Amino acid sequence: MPLPLLPPRLGPGDTVGVIYPAGPVRDQARLEKGLQVLRNLNLRVRHYSPDQSGPEYLAADDEQRLKGFYRLWNDEEVKAVIAARGGYGCLRIIGRMNPDLLRSRPKWLIGFSDLTVLLNGISAAAGLVTLHGPMVTTLANTDPLSFQRFREALSGEFSPLAPSRDLEILRSGRGQGRLAGGNLTTLTHMVGTPWQPDLMGKILFLEDTGESLYKLDRMLTHLACCGLLNNLAGLLLGVFDPGHFDRLEILRLNEQVWNRALELTQGASYPIWGGLPVGHQQGNVVLPVGMEAVMDDITGTLSFLPRSCQTA
């Protein structure tokens, strides 16, 4: 199997396309702020607003969302496509993606949340490295570290991620494997489909928002019952927030998630870290899906290995 392909890096004046593969944008002010952030990076923005046909919880019907995606992917001037927002909808269109076409025109695909479907599905089927990171409607509120790493990733830089103050090494050890994962709810809904990620030997990262503890427990337990937590190279737990910004409640919820993850993987020896700045809060550092990474428990550093991929 060929090595995953690293899309070409972006430079000043390059074009980024904005896609709507999932839910509608209801806050136009946030969208405009995010578009301006991209322009301030000296990037051109190609942006086609959907016609909002179809159910109200989708940006447009499946046909229009697919058409918008391919319109930008097939545009030779567009070097990266970034989702406007998540929500729901990617699972409805992943089966109509053309992996050969996507690989023949490699470009960065960026997003998180519901984009977990496309990030992992396209990475596996097309052999492309994709970027789990901020979307247009979250860019303006992204913290400085996450914004810096977003900018670096677009230019092809993947420097080691130093430990944050919230990082907890829950189980020690060194882990090395390709990155996979994203939103826990979305990933769980991929189980049993043709696009279920192959997690054997992977470093799995997970995050979620607006879910109560029992639902998070149920989803983690479901992954464990399916055997998907048995043969990982490592487990990275991002931020699990209850849907608001109460720091104490977030810390309490995350500690409970950490404990459940440790219980479910008692028979495993791979490292587990908690508190990675990945999720729906302001901290959401870019993680390259499909690229090899190394978890070093001595330094608490997460390193990335671009040499594990081939350059387009």
Out of 132, 146, 207, 211, pick the active-site residue. Answer: 207
Question: Can 152 be counted among the known catalytic residues?
Answer: no
pTM, to two decimals: 0.97
Report the C-alpha gap between 119 and 286 in whole angstroms.
Answer: 12
User: Which segments of the chain are extended strands (E)?
Assistant: 5-6, 15-19, 44-47, 78-83, 108-111, 130-132, 168-171, 175-183, 203-209, 234-241, 272-274, 287-289, 292-296, 301-305, 310-311
Question: Distance (Å, rounded) from C-alpha 287 to C-alpha 243?
Answer: 22
pLDDT confidence of residue 192:
97
Q: What is the pLDDT of residue 164?
A: 84
Q: What is the pLDDT of residue 35?
A: 98
Q: Catalytic: which of 113, 123, 146, 308?
A: 113
Helix (H) or strand (E) holding 219: helix 213-225
- Positive or negative, the Cα torsion across 225, 230, 232, 237? positive
Report, as ranges of residue numbers, the positions in the chain whose pLDDT lies below 50.
none
Active site residue 132: no
Catalytic residue among 123, 132, 280, 292: 280
- From residue 102, alpha-carbon distances to 10, 66, 99 in Å are 18, 13, 5
| Domain 168-311 part of CATH 3.50.30.60 | yes
| DSSP-derived pairing of the beta strands 44-47 and 5-6 | unpaired
Quote the tokens at residue 101.
């076409």
Q: Which pLDDT value is given to residue 124?
A: 97
207 flagged as catalytic: yes
DSSP state of 23: S
Token pair 């109460």 is found at 246
Tell me the per-residue pLDDT of 254-286, one tens digit each, with 9 for 90 and over.
999 999 999 999 999 999 999 999 999 999 999
The domain made up of 5-154 has a fold known as: Rossmann fold (3.40.50)
In tens, the pLDDT along 140-158 reads: 999 999 999 999 999 999 9
Side chain identity, residue 285: V
Q: Where are the domains of the chain?
A: 5-154, 168-311
Looking at residue 244, its pLDDT comes to 74
